[in-house]
């Protein structure tokens, strides 16, 4: 090979290798028409000009005692969730996602290795932002309104829903989430996702839908109080579910 040709080829290969993750991210990020179980990725709401920030808790860190302890809430919100926010800001830098809103990132992110940090930290930010809202100090009891009818229609009764949701939460192997979702056909269903994935990740989720309730079953969510007893944590979660908020999300997903 002539020296000049070699230098040129060598340079191209180097630039090519450096650009590959970015190009990959751009390609998948721009894939706008993909559908999953009838759900289509909506056009992006360009553009976001400020970094992601940690949303304030809608109650005091000790407000969910004795069901969820104050120290767990302090670490879970102040350290774990803050960590996802910080890492997400770093992960989207210089990618196609840099100016996307969180929902738009979630809908587009793929399983590509180059997007792993975006996937994990966008999911972490989205999932916890929902999680804090679907709990409340005066929570628990049973849902009312349209949601009560929806749950009865889908699961037979509230008690049957509670059993199914608890079983799904226990079934997550390792770290992940259990969800109550509204599907494209407007029916309620329960699903789980590993790690920080969620059902709005249309390029990833095996059962896509709009989550209206989510339960974090990572050990960091319960280990300080319940140690290895995930079942106790799942059972106590039902004492703090904010059914008013879950009902509002249900109505929004069902009726716009």
Closer residue to Mn ion (CB): 44 or 225: 225
Closer residue to Mn ion (CB): 132 or 243: 132
Q: How far is the CB of 11 from Mn ion (least distance, A)?
A: 45
Asked whether the beta carbons of 153 and 221 are under 8 A apart, the reply is no
Q: How far is the CB of 46 from Mn ion (least distance, A)?
A: 29
Q: Which residues, at least 6 apart from 237, have a Cβ–Cβ distance to it below 8 Å?
A: 67, 68, 135, 215
Distance CA 60, CA 187 (A): 34
> Residues 198-227: x/- map of binding to Mn ion (CB under 5 A)?
------------------x-x---------
Asked whether the beta carbons of 255 and 149 are under 8 A apart, the reply is no
Distance CA 97, CA 117 (A): 12
Q: How far is the CB of 195 from Mn ion (least distance, A)?
A: 11
Distance CA 207, CA 38 (A): 11
Closer residue to Mn ion (CB): 215 or 253: 215
Closer residue to Mn ion (CB): 78 or 156: 78
> In the complex, which residue's CB is closest to Mn ion?
216
Q: Which residues, at least 6 apart from 124, have a Cβ–Cβ distance to it below 8 Å?
A: 80, 81, 83, 84, 87, 88, 196
Closer residue to Mn ion (CB): 120 or 191: 120
Contacts (CB under 5 A) with Mn ion, residues 41-80: none
Q: How far is the CB of 133 from Mn ion (least distance, A)?
A: 14
Closer residue to Mn ion (CB): 216 or 245: 216
User: How far from 228 is each of 65, 88, 105, 129, 218, CA to CA, in Å?
Assistant: 19, 29, 34, 25, 11
Q: How far is the CB of 188 from Mn ion (least distance, A)?
A: 24
Distance CA 52, CA 84 (A): 10
Indicate whether 132 belongs to the interface with Mn ion (CB under 5 A). Answer: no
Q: How many residues bind Mn ion (CB under 5 A)?
A: 2
Which DSSP state fits 150?
A: H
Q: How far is the CB of 122 from Mn ion (least distance, A)?
A: 14
At 201 the three-state DSSP class reads coil
Q: Which residues of the shown chain bind Mn ion in the complex (CB under 5 A)?
A: 216, 218
């Amino acid at each position: 090979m002539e020296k000049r040709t070699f230098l040129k080829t060598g340079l191209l290969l180097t630039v090519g290798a450096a650009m590959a993750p970015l190009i990959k991210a751009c390609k998948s990020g721009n894939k706008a028409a993909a559908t999953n179980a009838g759900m289509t990725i909506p056009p992006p709401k360009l553009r976001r000009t400020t970094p992601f920030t940690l949303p304030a808790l809608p109650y005091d860190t000790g407000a969910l005692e004795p069901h969820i302890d104050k120290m767990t809430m302090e670490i879970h919100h102040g350290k774990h969730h803050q960590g996802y926010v910080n890492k997400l800001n770093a992960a989207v830098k210089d990618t196609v996602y840099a100016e996307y809103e969180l929902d738009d990132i979630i809908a587009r992110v793929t399983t590509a290795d180059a997007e792993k940090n975006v996937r994990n930290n966008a999911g972490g930010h989205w999932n916890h932002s929902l999680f804090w809202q679907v709990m409340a100090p005066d929570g628990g009891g049973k849902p009312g309104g349209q949601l009560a009818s929806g749950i009865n229609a889908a699961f037979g009764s509230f008690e049957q829903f509670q059993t199914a949701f608890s079983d799904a939460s226990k079934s997550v192997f390792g770290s992940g989430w259990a969800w109550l979702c509204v599907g494209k056909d407007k029916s309620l269903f329960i699903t789980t996702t590993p790690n920080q994935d969620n059902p709005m990740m249309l390029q990833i989720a095996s059962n896509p839908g709009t989550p209206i309730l989510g339960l974090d079953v990572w050990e960091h969510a319960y280990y300080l109080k319940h140690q290895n007893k995930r079942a106790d944590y799942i059972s106590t979660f039902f004492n703090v579910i904010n059914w008013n908020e879950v009902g509002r999300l249900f109505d929004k997903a069902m009726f716009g």
